[in-house]
Structure 1
Amino acid sequence: MQIEVATIGFTQSSAEHFFGRLKQAGVRTVLDVRLHNTSQLAGFAKADDLAYFLNTILGIGYAHEPLLAPTEEVMQALKGAKKGDWGRQQDRFMALMAERGIETRLDPARFDGACLLCSEAAPHQCHRRLVCDYLNGKWGGRLRVRHL
């Protein structure tokens, strides 16, 4: 059975475009995979505000899932790797997910109709993509991932 999951970043996006992409994709739940989800710099995507907007505008649920967030150390290394060795830092994050055993601690059904949220505008050098890649490897390719 295929599990439909999406990913999205909020930077470089207006609120109209952000919420429009979620609506068009038929997202039912946003899983926030950011380590820090309360920063003033997040604008409309600050945790409590985002949960309110998602529910009020689109009837979408919200959950913060720190198990899928990098540690502070790994996050800083990933950000620094955007100009350097992405592959090495990607391996560090994959090892962190393996250490946490996320594939056994999370129910695959929770991802069906969900959208993983972080700040990066594009998924190619972002941990939300790595989460999907990791889980897809552990769950036999059951995730059908769409990057919004």
Structure 2
Amino acid sequence: MKIEIATIGFTKSTAEHFFDRLKQAKVRQVMDVRLHNTSQLAGFAKADDLAFFLKEICGANYLHQPLLAPTEEILKGFKQEKGAWEVYQKQFMKLMAARQVEKALTPAMFDHACLLCSEATPHHCHRQLVCTYLNNKWGGALHVTHL
């Protein structure tokens, strides 16, 4: 049985477009995989505000899941120091393995969930790496849709 999971980024998106995508995907829970979920740059996606909006607009729950976030060191090397995506990818996958996230979490926890990060697209974002890592560990149990 496939577990339906989505991913979404909030930058370059209006609040209306962001919440409409979540509603159309029938998301029941947003799993925030950002290291820092209270940034002033986040606008409608700051943790407390987001939890309220998700419940009111989408009837969905909010969960901050830092276990699926990069470390400050890995993030800094990629963002601030303009590191190569390939290096970031290897470091993040190694971190997921060290944390053994596949044992700490279960596929059922991701059913109709949506992984949230700031990046507008999943191509160079760790949220798609999380899905790839877990799918490799869980035998392809996740059916991923990038919103």
Shorter chain as denominator, the TM-score bin is over 0.9
What is the match of residue 94 of structure 2? 95
- Please say if 1:129 is aligned against 2:124: no
- Please say if 1:113 is aligned against 2:112: yes
What is the match of residue 55 of structure 1? 55
* C-alpha displacement of 1:80: 5.0
* C-alpha displacement of 1:89: 1.3
3-state DSSP of counterpart to 1:75:
helix
- Please say if 1:37 is aligned against 2:10: no
3-state DSSP of counterpart to 1:6:
strand
Counterparts of 2:3 and 2:109, CA distance in 1? 9
CA RMSD, 1 decimal: 1.1
Counterparts of 2:129 and 2:14, CA distance in 1? 25
* C-alpha displacement of 1:100: 0.3
Counterparts of 1:77 and 1:4, CA distance in 2? 32
3-state DSSP of counterpart to 1:144:
strand
What is the match of residue 3 of structure 2? 3
TM (norm. structure 1) is 0.96
**Does the aligned pair in 1 maintain the 2:31–2:113 contact within 8 Å?**
yes
Counterparts of 1:109 and 1:61, CA distance in 2? 15
**Does the aligned pair in 2 maintain the 1:78–1:90 contact within 8 Å?**
no
3-state DSSP of counterpart to 1:78:
helix
Instruction: Give the unaligned 5+ runs of structure 1.
Output: none
Instruction: Give the unaligned 5+ runs of structure 2.
Output: none
Counterparts of 1:43 and 1:9, CA distance in 2? 13
Counterparts of 2:32 and 2:38, CA distance in 1? 11
**Does the aligned pair in 1 maintain the 2:77–2:83 contact within 8 Å?**
no
Cα shift readout 1:81-130 (whole Å, capped 9, x = no counterpart): 7x552112100000000000000000110101000000000000000000
Q: 1:123 is matched by which residue type in structure 2?
A: P
Q: 2:75 is matched by which residue type in structure 1?
A: M
